[in-house]
Structures are given as C-alpha cells and as structure tokens.
C-alpha cells in the first residue's frame, strides 16, 4: 500500500459529492416518477409498471428507439476517425496553425440556431444544394422533408459539429504519446502512415474508446440537429423522431405527461448504461493499470 485507505476517497470527495448531489440524486427522484402517472403540476399516483407496458405498445417509442440506434451506429465511426485525422493534420506547428485550429473549432461554439439556419439554407427544398442539382438537370432532393433523408442530413450536421470538439480532445491526447516510440519506429524505417497505425493509434486507444463512448451517447441522445432541421418537429408525421425528442415532446410544458416521460428517460438511461458497460469491457485492459 502506497497510501492510507481513505486517501483515494479524499481525492474523490469533491467530484463525487457534486455528481451525487446534482446529478444522481435528482435522477433517482426522476426514476420514482417513472412508476407514477405524475403530470407536470404535481399529482402522481403509483401506477406500477403501467408506463412501461404503455411504452412497449407505443409505436412512437419503437420508431424513436430504432432511429436513435441507427443514428448512433452511423455517427460513431466517422466521429472517432475524422477528428483524429484532423488532429494529426493540425498537430504540427506551421505558420498560421492557430488560426486554422480556431476556425475548426468554431462550429462547436457557433449558436445552434445559426447552425440550423445555415444548414437549412443549404439543404431545404429551394436550398443551395438543390439549386445546383436543378441546374445540373436533376430533380430536387427532399433532404429535410423525407424522413430517412432528414435523419441522414442530421447525421452529417452531427459529424460536422463534432469534428472540432473531438479534435481538441485528440490534440491533447496526442501530446501524451511518448516521443521515443515515434523515434524508435523511425529508426526502424517506418513511414508516416505506418507510424500512424502502429504507434499513434495504439497509444491513443483509451482516448478513442472514450470518444467512441461519448459520441455513441451523444448520438443516441441526438436532439438538436433533427430539431433544428425539421422546424422543431420530428420530421413529417414524426417519422424521424429520436428518443430524446420523444421524451421532450411527451414531457414538455405544463401539460406534460411527466410520469411517462420519466419512464422513457429511465429506459434511455438503461440502454446507454448497457452501451457504456460494453465499451468499458472493450477497454478492460487499459482499465486495469
């Protein structure tokens, strides 16, 4: 033992206290509501598993769960790989690199409303892309009004917004790749591509797993992109609704069905926790230092 048994808990105390008090406790409170028929303004009788039975029979839930899952599966690979490539591109100090890095980061800090505006301008029925398509003799593509295309368009926006954000995490992690590994590989005569795969990628594995987990969670929980591109709805007839959109629309406002929304949130949490445990398992080796 290199420390007293309670030392780690002293290190953890502030962080755990904040998480338990301001996230976990309110969350447990919410779980209780999942078993009631609470409305937004109080009330709430214990109704057992009624909300979950209703969910199983609610076609909207299945549509939303399917869309969320699809969304996650599609955005994770590009979000793990593309920002890494950009980070590798942006890691070397060349003149003006600061400007480039900052510019790459602007989508992350741009106001969501503006992001929605510009992508709508690009993709809507009379948008820029469609005028090009029409000029080339094609017919307009319903990027935002077909439920499948709307999902794909939103994924593009999600990936686009994530590039700068995950690039920053990768940049920081790249710094932790021991320099001598690269040098050793160079002595062995490995070219830049080989070194990327045999040195950089293995060294970044914990970060890649973290980013995979983060982008999976955020992908499954997607809300803003679809919301902004579909004018605040889940696409025509609600066919592009995702889990969080469904939760929002059920629980929203003073007329919200809070009990049912809580049940949906709880299920969302359980699904995400399952996903997380899988990634942790994949990451086991790193985990046991």
Partner 1 sequence: MKRRTFLAGLAALPITSSVAGCGLSSNTASNSSASGQVTGEITFQTWSLKPKYTDYVNGVIDAFQKQHQGTAVKWVDQPADGYLAKVMADASAGSLPDVINVPPDLSFPLARAGQLVNLDESLKDAKPEYLENAWQAFEIPGKGGCYGFPWYLNTGPIFYNKALFQQAGLDPDKPPTNFKELEQQALQLAQKKVAMLGQTPSIADFGLYGVKLFENDKFTFNEPKGVEFVETYKRMYDAGALIPEALTQNYTGAGAKFMAQQTALSPGSAYDLGKFKTDAPSLYANIGITKPITNTGSANMFLHGVSVPKSSKNQATALAFGRFVTNAENQVKFAKLASIFPSTSKGGDDPYFTTEDGSDEARVRVAAAKQLKTAVNYTPVQFSDQMREALLQQLADAMLGKKSPKQALDDAVNECNRLLK
Partner 2 sequence: MKLALRYAGLLAILAISIGPFLWQFATSIKGPNEDVFVPDFIPDDPTFGNYAAVADVVPVWSFALNSLAVASVNVLTNCVGAAMAGYALARLRFRGRRFAAVIFAGSILVPFEAILISLFLVMRGLGLTNTLTGVVLPGSIAALNVLLLRNAFLALPAEVEEAAIIDGANAWQRFTRLALPSVKGTLVVVALFSFMFSWDDFLWPLVVLSDQEKYTLTIGLAYLQGTFVQNQRLVAAGTIIAVLPLILLFLLLQKHFFRGVGEGAIKG
* Interface residue list for partner 1 (CB under 8 A): 26, 29-30, 32-33, 36, 38-44, 111-113, 116, 124-126, 142, 144-145, 165, 214, 218, 223-224, 227-228, 230-238, 247-258, 261-262, 265
Closest separation between CB of residue 284 and partner 1, Å?
24
Please report which helix (H) or strand (E) contains residue 167, including its range.
Answer: helix 147-175
Which residue number, 147 or 208, has a Cβ lying nearer to partner 2? Answer: 208
Closest separation between CB of residue 20 and partner 1, Å?
16
Closest separation between CB of residue 167 and partner 1, Å?
14
Residue 38 interacting entry, from partner 1, partner 2, none, C-beta within 5 to 8 Å by type: partner 1
Which residue number, 30 or 149, has a Cβ lying nearer to partner 2? Answer: 30
Residue 224 interacting entry, from partner 2, partner 1, none, C-beta within 5 to 8 Å by type: partner 1
Which residue number, 185 or 246, has a Cβ lying nearer to partner 1? Answer: 246
Which residue number, 97 or 132, has a Cβ lying nearer to partner 1? Answer: 132
Which residue number, 32 or 271, has a Cβ lying nearer to partner 1? Answer: 32
* Nearest by Cα to 155 from 282, 279, 69: 69
Burial degree of 57 (CB within 10 A; 0-12, 13-18, 19+): exposed
- Three-state SS at 75: helix
Give how far Cα 266 sits from Cα of 32, 223, 253, Å. 10, 17, 19
Cβ contact 61:263 at 8 Å = no
Cβ contact 199:182 at 8 Å = yes
Closest separation between CB of residue 26 and partner 1, Å?
8
Residue 83 interacting entry, from partner 1, partner 2, none, C-beta within 5 to 8 Å by type: none
Residue 41 interacting entry, from partner 1, partner 2, none, C-beta within 5 to 8 Å by type: partner 1
Closest separation between CB of residue 105 and partner 2, Å?
5
Residue 31 interacting entry, from partner 1, partner 2, none, C-beta within 5 to 8 Å by type: none
Cβ contact 141:130 at 8 Å = yes
Alpha-carbon Rg for the chain in angstroms:
23
Cα–Cα distance, 158 to 167 (Å, whole number) = 14
Cβ contact 230:285 at 8 Å = no
Which residue number, 32 or 181, has a Cβ lying nearer to partner 1? Answer: 32
**Residues paired with residue 36 on neighbouring β-strands, in sequence order:** 46
């Amino acid at each position: 033992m290199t420390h007293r048994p309670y030392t780690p808990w002293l290190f953890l105390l502030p962080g755990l206290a904040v998480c338990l008090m301001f996230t976990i406790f309110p969350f447990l409170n919410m779980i209780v509501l999942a078993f009631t028929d609470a409305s937004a303004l109080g009330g709430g009788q214990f109704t057992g598993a009624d909300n979950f039975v209703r969910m199983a029979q609610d076609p909207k839930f299945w549509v939303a769960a399917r869309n969320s899952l699809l969304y996650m599966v599609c955005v994770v690979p590009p979000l793990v790989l593309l920002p890494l490539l950009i980070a590798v591109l942006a890691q070397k100090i060349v003149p003006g690199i600061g400007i480039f890095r900052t510019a790459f980061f602007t989508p992350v800090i741009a106001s969501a409303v503006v992001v929605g505006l510009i992508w709508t301008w690009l993709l809507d029925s009379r948008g820029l892309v469609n005028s090009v398509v029409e000029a080339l003799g094609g017919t307009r593509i319903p990027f935002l009004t077909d439920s499948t295309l709307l999902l794909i368009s939103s994924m593009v926006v999600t990936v686009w917004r994530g590039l700068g954000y995950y690039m920053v995490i990768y940049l920081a992690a790249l710094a932790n790749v021991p320099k001598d590994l690269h040098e050793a590989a160079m002595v062995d005569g490995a070219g830049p591509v080989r070194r990327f795969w045999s040195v950089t990628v293995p060294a970044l594995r914990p970060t890649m797993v973290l980013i995979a987990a983060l982008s999976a969670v955020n992908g499954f929980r997607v809300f803003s992109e679809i919301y902004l591109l579909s004018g605040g709805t889940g696409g025509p007839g609600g066919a592009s609704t995702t889990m969080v959109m469904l939760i929002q629309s059920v629980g929203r406002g003073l007329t919200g069905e809070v009990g049912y929304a809580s049940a949906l949130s709880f299920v969302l949490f359980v699904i995400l926790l399952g996903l997380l445990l899988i990634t942790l398992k994949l990451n086991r080796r790193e985990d046991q230092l």
